[in-house]
Amino acid sequence: MSELYERPKSILPNASSYCPGCLHATATKIIAEVIDELGVKDKAIYVLPVGCSTQGLVSWDLDIIGSAHGRAPAVATGIKRCRPDCLVFCYQGDGDLASIGLAEIMSAANRGENITVIYANNSIFGMTGGQMAPTTLIGQKATTAVTGRQLLGTGYPLKMCELIKELDAPRLVVRCSLRTPAGIKKARASILKGFKNQLEGKGFSFIELLTNCPTTWHTDALGSLDFMEKYTEKYFECRTFTDKEERFGE
């Protein structure tokens, strides 16, 4: 296998600590591949939020700075303004970004901060046991919605790309699914573009990755992919919402 695939230099030689079948591991791999491709490992800074992505501490061979729950875009803003020569990115889950961190992500996007935010949406609070998230689908069960999310009382699941695309500042807003090889290829290309935007000083990029959570969805890996195809991708449309070539402010 080592002859067919070389581990990205931006990842440590450790076994994945994610649950079996979790697509966070796939996201980690393609982000690392892009960093290696761009040759920016030594100046990449990953802002660590709260959530399953904290397991990046044993995965990434990069500089990592922790942040309070939901505050990663605010921390990334400070780092980038102090170190504009660095590639600064966040990798956040939906419970982190779309819930407690909603103000931070919208404000950073509205200011057009020259950072890249990668957003993993699995429609659940994975790390804390499967509570309902802002992105939990109507009818989808959670520990705090045992009969499934109801429209009355909790409203519709938040569509972050659709919200952020309404702002004037963002340069790139795109949603991809990690369910299929084609989706992974699109996600990798989108991350590459988002990082290039930052390195070229173009401004804020937001890449949403639809992922799974076999553990809190109470299914196996293949069952979680079926759920994504039948339900997740039907509600969260995968497409490019914004793609501007000019620099923010031009």
Would you give the distance in Å from CA 49 to the centre of its chain?
Answer: 11
Query: What are the tens digits of pLDDT across the range 59-115?
Result: 899 999 999 999 999 999 999 999 999 999 999 999 899 999 999 999 999 999 999
Reading the block at residue 111, the tokens are 């200011």
Asked whether residue 101 is domain-assigned, the answer is yes
**Is the confidence at residue 1, as pLDDT, over 60?**
no
The answer as to whether 179 is a domain residue is yes
Partners of 227 in beta bridges: none
Q: What is the CATH number of the domain that holds 221?
A: 3.40.50.970
pLDDT at 220 over 80: yes
In a domain, 12, yes or no: no
- Percent of the chain predicted with pLDDT > 90: 83
pLDDT of residue 104: 97
State the DSSP H helix or E strand holding residue 198, giving kind and residue range, or none if neither: helix 181-199
Q: In this structure, is residue 75 part of a structural domain?
A: yes
Amino acid making up residue 6: E
pLDDT at 4: 66
Q: Across all residues in the chain, what is the average pLDDT?
A: 94
What average pLDDT does the segment 161-168 reach?
Answer: 98
Torsion of the alpha carbons at 36, 76, 64 and 118, rounded to the nearest 10: -50
Reference 212, options 96, 94, 102, 97; nearest CA is 94
Domain extent at residue 90 = 24-243
| Per-residue confidence band for 51, with pLDDT thresholds at 50, 70 and 90 | confident
Tally of domains within the chain: 1
Closest CA to 144 of 157, 131, 125, 127: 131
Asked if residue 102 is part of any domain, the answer here is yes
pLDDT digits (tens, 9 = 90+) for 35-50: 999 999 999 999 999 8
| Residue 232 in domain | yes
Q: Judging by DSSP bridges, how do beta strands 44-48 and 63-66 pair with one another?
A: parallel
Q: Which pLDDT tens digit goes with each residue over 145-159?
A: 899 999 999 999 999
Considering the domain boundaries, does residue 2 fall inside one?
Answer: no
The answer, yes or no, to whether residue 229 has pLDDT greater than 80, is yes
* 4 inside domain: no
